[in-house]
Structure 1
């Protein structure tokens, strides 16, 4: 089926043009809201054409950079292409592109790393300035102008509402059976007129299956036919399987204690191979009738839906390996009974997360002995990707779990440290820390009690003596004994403390 046959409204059909012609409508200095969330549903053609235009302008000595706002990370055709031609002045709210990361850490690209639930409302509040252009991928334009979303929703509703000009990419690769999978909620209001979001269970539908867009704002419609470009997930390694095993054992323990129902509570899972390992463990585990209320549906969670272990998955995006993406697209008609895609202001809504009692599982870079978590920075000043939605879930979840291998860089770095070099999630929002070594349940523990549990259960044996030595000396020398620290020593953990512990000092 051609894209043209999917553009059924004659007003929109009259605005069909090439990607290059559409890109010419984006001026230097514009703030551009683009669709896309964890590599799903991003525009495939206009960003590449815009990158070529920017490169040509730079070749003539003309300045040309823009601000790009998205749902979360996108793909090489968007972030990578624009970054490589030095086309990004400001990027928000999340990225995972290596070229972007390099420029951000070099100080040549500005980056606003914010909670994903905050983005849409910040735009509505006017905190981020004017949104000049929206570039949004859709699967079809119906006769009455309603827009059928593709594999992600993210902030697209807000982009379409708030942008002065709108460019639509109609992607004929997306199965038209996606129609009906989405739940676009238009009930949010600005303070002081806000009303509760009327969502009581993960599968509730409180909106409509389509985007609305004022046709007078649409300046271009571009036809595409291309899948999302995501990389395949590697099979869970032994470390990931051990982390998953500790989490599943913890769930069983909580059921026995009467703190979780037999089918658990709705699950949220971050992205990556450890998260997929947990989902694989759930596939073989004793828990049935599972539900998810999360940001991203990945391969492991999709398999739970297919097998019947998970009856409902609510997310804002479907971010899959290439093989899983093909089968998801093919089977969209059957899957939309069990999958709901929402705007990220709803998928990550703090009050809804607390109401539903979410079990949140997110990755981290490092944790300290008192339970503070760094999920964004290397050595305190270099960004890796961003906080994403982990903070939305961690503070409001029924259970807040953070997980990581106990070491990095082939064992040369401990991921359990005396004091994290950057704090994304304070000890007040972290209930459980898990590594392949074990699980630390921090609920109800004072800082000194947490330190002992984290060191004993989560630290790698090679680093446990050094961490214990640091904690012992901090108890002796720290001027405050509530959260004992040696501030002149805390960030010199390696190699000084490892050698000190080995020498018995």
Structure 2
């Protein structure tokens, strides 16, 4: 079956090399892709080869790269390997690129994922020269059938001076109808309320639009998304999942949420998937989800009939989960909607729907501040991603982590976090395998006692209590959030000096 049926755009079919030639040194390039789904498969690799050849001749050639979120080794990794990037935003998880970011070679703009599209429209990032977007098909009228992620594609197609389309035959043609692309967003003062009151409500179009005059090349591909094997839940993640699910039962009994809960959001990783596994065996029925990424655990809930509807911006499945979706794609139509990330992560909608947000963290301090992006205060891990969009605006949020890292050399509960992504004002519940600390409605002093008692590992609990006790005694006139400033980051300094906290 032909995937390019638009006569005008059908005349612009080109090779990846011919398409990549439209990208110039110094260009800002917006690409599709979110958590390894929907990224362009051919043009970035052709561009990386071109950059490598230019560098071999002694020519300077680097670009700025804008995406929805993380891509894959064939995009971020390939461009990092040839030192072809000077700026990256708003999120990346590639280890090769991470090294260049932390070495200072690549400028990294770590933005909230709901902000990146609007900030591009505001002009905060400067002009967008080229968009490279993967789609499943181009219809006779020029409309685009999106693929396995929507991300920032609408904005890149609208804002770019030139557009390159990759039409991937590997994508199921049955993806048509899975998308809801909202074209009602506007810049201030022209904004209006977004009329969405249920996760599966349609408020937009099933297609992406592009001005045909801007399309300089159409490249045909046949290549799969990047899918990572799913880490099986271990004893620790299952313990955290049990704590979280039991807490939700408590909230229902207290009358603070309905028996079918409120819409779920879960970050990527083994613990969120363990939570979904816990919900699979729990009594809750008629669940809904308003999230960023569809992982295997959400498919499990859909297949079991526990989850009625699922709104996201991308898939993030394991190879087995991806195959399950491809084999049964028709059965999911009408139950899954993929939206632009400015909608899937929109603070207005997260707050209106009353989302329950579940995200991971690197560390939390005794007062409830959370670091989800930096190791030892300075080295970026991946970025804040969408966790801030959801946590700040959620009806109820959870941050989860093992209490120890590096075989016990690092405590995830510390006197003061070395980097703050989520302030104490935005954090509701902390969970480690040791226990759960409900911080809602507590003063900083009460939060400290609860976090230490319930979340800290026994190997570090007494030291944390000692720190807080001495901080309280040191300044009787300043006991609201007491700290010993000369010691507050001492645990991190000790690790950098001695290899353990």
Shared fold by TM > 0.5? Answer: yes
Partner in structure 2 of residue 293 of structure 1: 290
The SS at the match of 1:462 is helix
The SS at the match of 1:136 is strand
Alignment of structure 1 residues 173-212 onto 2, 5 Å: 173-212=170-209
Q: Which runs of 4+ in 1 moved over 3 A?
A: 494-497
Pair 1:79 & 2:76 matched: yes
Partner in structure 1 of residue 472 of structure 2: 475
Alignment of structure 1 residues 336-347 onto 2, 5 Å: 336-347=333-344
Q: Distance in 2 between matches of 1:217 and 1:327?
A: 37
Task: Go from structure 1 to structure 2 and tell me whether the alpha carbon gap of 1:27 and 1:343 turns closer, same or farther (over 3 Å shift).
Answer: same
How many residues are paired up?
Answer: 494
Q: 1:100 aligns with which of 93, 97, 100?
A: 97
Q: Deviations over 1:369-393 (max 9, x none)?
A: 0000000001111000000010011
Tell me by how many angstroms 1:463 deviates: 0.6
Partner in structure 2 of residue 428 of structure 1: 425
Given that 2:168 and 2:223 are in contact with CA atoms closer than 8 Å, whether structure 1 keeps it comes out as yes
Q: TM-score, normalised by structure 1?
A: 0.97
Q: 2:40 aligns with which of 40, 43, 46?
A: 43
The SS at the match of 2:80 is helix
The SS at the match of 1:68 is strand
Alignment of structure 1 residues 446-485 onto 2, 5 Å: 446-478=443-475, 480-485=478-483
Pair 1:116 & 2:113 matched: yes
Q: Deviations over 1:316-355 (max 9, x none)?
A: 0011011211221232221021100000000011011000
Q: Deviations over 1:274-317 (max 9, x none)?
A: 11111111111111110000000101111111111101010000
Alignment of structure 1 residues 181-260 onto 2, 5 Å: 181-260=178-257
Tell me by how many angstroms 1:480 deviates: 1.5
Task: Go from structure 1 to structure 2 and tell me whether the alpha carbon gap of 1:356 and 1:103 turns closer, same or farther (over 3 Å shift).
Answer: same
The SS at the match of 1:280 is helix
CA RMSD of aligned residues (A): 1.1
Tell me by how many angstroms 1:244 deviates: 0.3
Tell me by how many angstroms 1:53 deviates: 0.2
Q: TM-score, normalised by structure 2?
A: 0.97
Task: Go from structure 1 to structure 2 and tell me whether the alpha carbon gap of 1:489 and 1:288 turns closer, same or farther (over 3 Å shift).
Answer: same
Q: Deviations over 1:178-222 (max 9, x none)?
A: 100000000111110100001011010000100010000000000
Partner in structure 2 of residue 501 of structure 1: none
The SS at the match of 1:148 is strand
Partner in structure 2 of residue 503 of structure 1: none
Task: Go from structure 1 to structure 2 and tell me whether the alpha carbon gap of 1:457 and 1:353 turns closer, same or farther (over 3 Å shift).
Answer: same
The SS at the match of 1:202 is coil
Pair 1:402 & 2:373 matched: no
Partner in structure 2 of residue 500 of structure 1: none
Q: Distance in 2 between matches of 1:142 and 1:272?
A: 36
Task: Go from structure 1 to structure 2 and tell me whether the alpha carbon gap of 1:346 and 1:496 turns closer, same or farther (over 3 Å shift).
Answer: closer
Alignment of structure 1 residues 4-403 onto 2, 5 Å: 5-403=2-400
Given that 2:228 and 2:319 are in contact with CA atoms closer than 8 Å, whether structure 1 keeps it comes out as yes
Q: Distance in 1 between matches of 2:166 and 2:122?
A: 27
The SS at the match of 1:51 is helix
Structure 2: gaps of 5 or more residues: 496-501
Given that 2:376 and 2:492 are in contact with CA atoms closer than 8 Å, whether structure 1 keeps it comes out as no
Given that 1:175 and 1:330 are in contact with CA atoms closer than 8 Å, whether structure 2 keeps it comes out as no
Q: Distance in 2 between matches of 1:481 and 1:14?
A: 71
Q: Deviations over 1:66-92 (max 9, x none)?
A: 000000000001000000100010000
Tell me by how many angstroms 1:494 deviates: 6.6
Q: Distance in 2 between matches of 1:302 and 1:28?
A: 42
Pair 1:417 & 2:414 matched: yes
